[in-house]
Amino acid sequence: MQQGSNPGVVTVCAPEPVVIGVDALPALFSALRAWGYTVVGPTVRDGAIVLSELESAAELPYGWGVETEAGQYRVRRRSDTAAFGHSAGPQSWKNFLHPPRARMWSADRTADAVTVSGAGEQPRYALLGVRPCDVRAIGVLDRVLSHGQHADAVYSGRRDGAFVIAVECTEPGATCFCASMGCGPDAQSGYDLALTELVDGDDHRFVARSGTEAGARLLAQLPQRPADDATVHKAQAAVKRAATEMGRAMPEVDLPRLMTESRESPHWDDVASRCLTCGNCTMVCPTCFCTATEDVTDLTGDHAERWSVWDSCFSLDFTGMHGGEVRVSGQSRYRQWISHKLGTWHEQFGSSGCVGCGRCIVWCPVGIDITQEAAALAALRPPSVLDAAGGETADAEAVGIKED
Amino acid sequence: MTTLTEAAEAEHADPAVPRFYRVVSRREDTYDTVTMELAAQADPLPLFAPGQFSMLTAFGIGEVPISLSGLGSSGGDGGGPAALRLQHTVRAVGAVTRSLCAVRPGQLIGVRGPFGTGWDLASAIGHDLLIIAGGIGLAPLRPVLLAALEDRSRYGRLVLLVGARSPADLLYPDELEAWRERGVEVAVTVDRPGEGWQGNVGVVTSLLEPAAPGANQTTAFICGPEIMMRYAAQALIALEVPTQRIQVSLERTMRCGAGWCGHCQLGPLLLCRDGPVVTYDRASELMRIREL
Ligand SMILES: Cc1cc2nc3c(=O)[nH]c(=O)nc-3n(C[C@H](O)[C@H](O)[C@H](O)COP(=O)(O)OP(=O)(O)OC[C@H]3O[C@@H](n4cnc5c(N)ncnc54)[C@H](O)[C@@H]3O)c2cc1C
Ligand code: SF4
Ligand code: SF4
């Protein structure tokens, strides 16, 4: 995620910020569309601020905010006209970069051969209004789906073609904790263009800075003025203040170690008594990437396709093997999810799997809160966890899967 | 404009897209297990190492991970060099494996790979090599035994302990005999003896004592049901074989083989990438924790 989103584009160092008025947003849309991008951004629909393909800047959620709490989400009218005055909604950018259903290939069989064609060309998205935590989440997905030993063609195609416009956070929600994850509220890298929104009555403007050459070229096309020190300071102060206004914080402990040492914590029984294993948290999380595959054929049986579909570690058949599932209990499935997010992700992909966006807290039907569960595990660790862990067991049951 | 060849190459470079291989031979090993040899149609996949696996696609049905059970026995006839041919031994347990087992010579199967870690045979040089197999677990161990036999002088004793549910489930019985003739100490046991079974009865670990590996100089490769691997590893530890000289091949659900689907996690390990072959010093704690 250190690199800009357009490969081969050199990152511009310390670009001078400029100020663009809210009336520059239509020009921004036109420029992006002229470059062949489909713009994706926030808009109000069905009582939520969702991410959607947008035709024009008029569709942005001007004057709308949200109220969030564990298990609760409501849009509300703001007293100003801010377009990005809301915290995360039910979707994230993964819906576009790593779509819920994607065709991996299709194949046709004749008497003597099979011809296969791959995922093919992917749409080019300009992602508008990406929160710094979500910029980081895209970087997390990059490491999983693009920068490993093998690159996922659908994700990499969409990611390489994407243009990222970050909007820094000045009004975090009650469920936000990106500051404690080191993932916001300021945008540090991984964007083409970064905006900070300022609204003072009718004076509705953005401090804008480019992160890549493509971002600089886009910015050059917009009506603008140089940023005066007062405006820049005002924007910076608003972002700085946001860091202190997060509704939640992750406990300051060595999270990977906490997760490893909590593998046999009694707390899993407590979470499992509340968790419905519905998987909502994995669907809304901007970094949860797990997929299953579905093979389908047409009626002749000679045309086959493979689709990748989002899957969740909360579903029982996620670990289904011949002989049974590995993670049968709700305890083990919640443990897998939170341990992966906060712990094993580091070893697997070199970063945390959680960026502190708070979505999983909001969209959990029973309000399970990852920060509180981590705090509960931390509180239990010494010395009760050691007691509960017991000695080395080599019983057949410990394997947890049926043998044949 | 990309040319057709470029497009074909780009697609082939996509690790998610299977290449279709022709079934050149098919052998029924047991009532539910089939070994097939596959030859590439056009550009073959890179050379597989023993212990690595393929993702095999039954057209329109689905895809499953299947270990390499051998490299090609024959070459020429247009199917590329023998070393780039793949042998796979598949046990029919569900929709996809049943469909794969039903293939006929001449039919096409989708192949992706090679994926995962292989057996670290180099680490066994100068040691006795002890191979312990349970059930279908003999399939991934076969190519590493063959590789050791190719280079016989570099190893001490070659010991193969095989466990099967019943005599009818025993894989490669003819080859077991041939390996015995080539100096492999082979011992076989079954859980449920049938009529006329003269051999050992009991779990595969019961063969360890008679095989008596000399302590400090044994490298062990184990593949079979997880509980069997744990008991076998613990028995070896009791015989003072160091845990890092015990390698196990682990199984979890795998949808992609390429590190993207998330299914094959075992704690910090992505078994399609960091496994399936893992040394026991890493695996033992992860295998101990229930439902990890
Ligand atoms: C690294 C590795 C190497 C392997 N090597 C070999 C080998 O060499 N030879 C061999 O024979 N086997 C091998 N296996 C095991 C083999 O991959 C499995 O036996 C195979 O995946 C079974 O697939 P199936 O569709 O035939 O069977 P099923 O068990 O029917 O289906 C497999 C998957 O489908 C899903 N599924 C099945 N039923 C349901 C249901 N009712 N609802 C929802 N989901 C369901 C499960 O998630 C399951 O994981 C290996 C496995 C691994 C991980
Ligand atoms: S785990 Fe929760 S807070 Fe963390 S990134 Fe995922 S949805 Fe956001
Ligand atoms: S934690 Fe909440 S959202 Fe996640 S599976 Fe459990 S009940 Fe569903």
Query: Mean pLDDT across the stretch A80-97?
Result: 96
Give the Cα separation of A141 and A92 in Å (integer).
12
Beta bridge partners of B220: B130, B246
A337 Cα–ligand 2 center, Å: 11
Interface test with A, best of B57, B234, B291 (most A CBs within 10 A): B291
Domain end among B59, B83, B115: B115
| Beta carbons of A322 and B15 less than 8 Å apart | no
**What tens digit of pLDDT does each residue of A257-305 get?**
999 999 999 999 999 999 999 999 999 999 999 999 999 999 999 999 9
Beta bridge partners of B268: none
Domain end among B115, B133, B151: B115
pLDDT of residue B72: 83
pLDDT at B211 over 50: yes
Query: Mean pLDDT across the stretch B119-132?
Result: 95
pLDDT at B2 over 80: no
Report residue B5's pLDDT band, with 50, 70 and 90 as the boundaries.
very low
Query: Mean pLDDT across the stretch B36-41?
Result: 94
| Beta carbons of A304 and B60 less than 8 Å apart | yes
B63 within domain boundaries: yes
Domain shared by B184 and B144, yes or no: yes
Domain shared by B169 and B92, yes or no: no
pLDDT of residue B216: 55
Report residue B75's pLDDT band, with 50, 70 and 90 as the boundaries.
low
Give the Cα separation of A287 and A275 in Å (integer).
20
Domain shared by B144 and B269, yes or no: yes
Beta bridge partners of B159: B130, B185
Give the Cα separation of A285 and A358 in Å (integer).
9
Which of A150, A321, A400 comes nearest B291 by C-beta? Answer: A400
Give the Cα separation of A204 and A216 in Å (integer).
22
- Find out whether B223 is annotated in a ligand binding site: no
Domain shared by B173 and B158, yes or no: yes
Q: Who contacts B90 (Cβ-Cβ below 8 Å, separation ≥6)?
A: B33, B34, B35, B36, B56, B66, B97, B100, B101
**What tens digit of pLDDT does each residue of A93-151 get?**
999 999 999 999 999 999 889 999 999 999 999 999 999 999 999 999 999 999 999 99
For ligand 3, mutation pick of A366, A371, A373 (most atoms within 8 Å of CB): A366
B174 within domain boundaries: yes
Cβ–ligand 1 distance for B270 under 6 Å, the answer no
Domain shared by B193 and B63, yes or no: no
Q: Taking CB atoms and an 8 Å cutoff, what residues of chain A touch B234?
A: 394
pLDDT at B51 over 60: yes
Give the Cα separation of A404 and B190 in Å (integer).
13
Q: What's the CA angle centered on A16, arms A14 and A20, to 5 degrees?
A: 135
Give the Cα separation of A304 and B28 in Å (integer).
28
pLDDT of residue B41: 86
Written as one letter, the residue type at A192 is: D
- The helix or strand, by DSSP H or E, that contains position A331, with its residue range, turns out to be helix A330-339
Ligand nearest to the CA of A183: 2
- What token pair was written down for A369? 């809160």
Domain that holds residue B182: 121-286
Task: At B3, give phi and psi (nearest 5°).
Answer: -80, 170
Q: How far is residue A254 from each of residues A94, A381, B79, B292, measured CA to CA in Å?
A: 28, 12, 55, 21
> Chain B within 8 Å of A318 (Cβ-Cβ)?
yes
Residues A290, A292, A293, A294: what is their CA dihedral angle, to the nearest 10 degrees? -140
Query: Mean pLDDT across the stretch A72-83?
Result: 96
pLDDT of residue A403: 37
Report residue B212's pLDDT band, with 50, 70 and 90 as the boundaries.
low
**What tens digit of pLDDT does each residue of B176-202 get?**
999 999 999 999 999 999 888 999 999
- Find out whether B256 is annotated in a ligand binding site: yes
A358: left (phi over 0), alpha (psi -120 to 50) or beta: left
B165 within domain boundaries: yes
B27 within domain boundaries: yes
Domain shared by B158 and B102, yes or no: no
Q: How far is residue A150 from each of residues A105, A153, A333, B258, B259, measured CA to CA in Å?
A: 16, 9, 27, 6, 8
**DSSP single-letter state for residue B17:** S
Residue ranges in chain B assigned as alpha helix (H): 4-13, 95-101, 138-150, 173-181, 208-211, 226-238, 280-288
Which of A293, A297, A398 comes nearest B290 by C-beta? Answer: A398
B210 within domain boundaries: yes
Residue A7 distance to chain B (closest CA, Å): 18
Q: Is A130 exposed, middle or buried (0-12, 13-18, 19+ CB in 10 A)?
A: buried
Domain shared by B91 and B137, yes or no: no
pLDDT of residue B43: 85
pLDDT at B7 over 80: no
Q: Who contacts A289 (Cβ-Cβ below 8 Å, separation ≥6)?
A: A94, A98, A141, A144, A145, B260, B262
Domain shared by B136 and B260, yes or no: yes
Residue A150 distance to chain B (closest CA, Å): 6
Cβ atoms of A400 and A325 within 8 Å: the answer is: no
Task: Report chain B's mean pLDDT, rounded to a whole number.
Answer: 91
Structural domain count of chain B: 2
Domain shared by B149 and B276, yes or no: yes
Q: Taking CB atoms and an 8 Å cutoff, what residues of chain B touch A142?
A: none
Residue B10 distance to chain A (closest CA, Å): 9
CA-based max dimension of chain A? 73
Helix B280-288 vs helix B226-238: crossing angle, to nearest 10: 120
Report residue A382's pLDDT band, with 50, 70 and 90 as the boundaries.
low
% of chain A beyond a pLDDT of 70: 91
Cβ atoms of A326 and B252 within 8 Å: the answer is: yes
**What tens digit of pLDDT does each residue of A200-247 get?**
999 999 999 999 999 999 999 999 999 999 999 999 999 999 999 999
Cβ atoms of B89 and B119 within 8 Å: the answer is: no
| Beta carbons of A150 and B15 less than 8 Å apart | yes
Protein residue with its CA nearest to atom 43 in ligand 1: A317
Residues having CB closer than 6 A to ligand 3 are: A 275-281, 314, 364-366, 368
Protein residue with its CA nearest to atom 5 in ligand 2: A354
B196 within domain boundaries: yes
For residue A295, give the 3-state DSSP assignment. Answer: strand
Residue ranges in A57-152 assigned as alpha helix (H): 94-97, 132-141
Protein residue with its CA nearest to atom 46 in ligand 1: A320
> Chain B within 8 Å of A277 (Cβ-Cβ)?
no
| Beta carbons of B290 and A318 less than 8 Å apart | no
Strand B33-40 vs strand B86-91: parallel, antiparallel, or unpaired? Answer: antiparallel
What is the number of H-type helices and E-type strands within chain B? 7, 16
- What token pair was written down for A14? 């310390």
ipTM of this complex prediction, to 2 decimal places: 0.90
Q: Taking CB atoms and an 8 Å cutoff, what residues of chain A touch B290?
A: 332, 397-400
Interface test with B, best of A106, A348, A351, A404 (most B CBs within 10 A): A348
Task: Report chain A's mean pLDDT, rounded to a whole number.
Answer: 91
E strands present in A254-345: 291-297, 303-310, 320-321, 324-325
Which of B10, B59, B231 comes nearest A304 by C-beta? Answer: B59
B1 within domain boundaries: no
Protein residue with its CA nearest to atom 1 in ligand 2: A354
pLDDT at A179 over 70: yes
Q: Who contacts B61 (Cβ-Cβ below 8 Å, separation ≥6)?
A: A295, B95, B96, B99
Give the Cα separation of A76 and B219 in Å (integer).
66
A361 Cα–ligand 2 center, Å: 8
**Residue of A5, A281, A10 whose CA lies nearest to A135:** A5
pLDDT at B242 over 70: yes
Residue B96 distance to chain A (closest CA, Å): 11
Domain shared by B97 and B142, yes or no: no
**DSSP single-letter state for residue A179:** G
- What token pair was written down for B238? 């009791």
Tell me the pTM: 0.91
Domain shared by B206 and B81, yes or no: no
pLDDT at A330 over 60: yes
| Beta carbons of B258 and A311 less than 8 Å apart | no
Domain end among B115, B130, B156: B115
Task: At B276, give phi and psi (nearest 5°).
Answer: -70, -20
Q: Taking CB atoms and an 8 Å cutoff, what residues of chain A touch B19?
A: 116
- Find out whether B272 is annotated in a ligand binding site: yes
What is the number of H-type helices and E-type strands within chain A? 14, 16
Q: How far is residue A42 from each of residues A136, A200, A209, measured CA to CA in Å?
A: 18, 22, 21
Output the domain CATH number for residue B85: 2.40.30.10
Instruction: List the B70-71 sheet strands across, edge first.
Output: B62-67, B53-58, B108-115, B19-30, B33-40, B86-91, B70-71
DSSP string, B78-114: TS--GGG-EEEEEE--SHHHHHHHT--TT-EEEEEEE
Domain shared by B202 and B161, yes or no: yes
Q: How far is CA A58 from the centre of its chain?
A: 25
For residue B132, give the 3-state DSSP assignment. Answer: strand
Q: Taking CB atoms and an 8 Å cutoff, what residues of chain B touch A113?
A: 20, 41, 108
> Chain B within 8 Å of A159 (Cβ-Cβ)?
no
pLDDT of residue A381: 81
B7 within domain boundaries: no
| Beta carbons of A289 and B41 less than 8 Å apart | no
Q: How far is residue B279 from each of residues A8, A21, B125, B245, B246, measured CA to CA in Å?
A: 40, 60, 16, 7, 6
Query: Mean pLDDT across the stretch A29-51?
Result: 97
Residues having CB closer than 6 A to ligand 2 are: A 284-287, 341, 354-360, 370
pLDDT of residue A99: 98
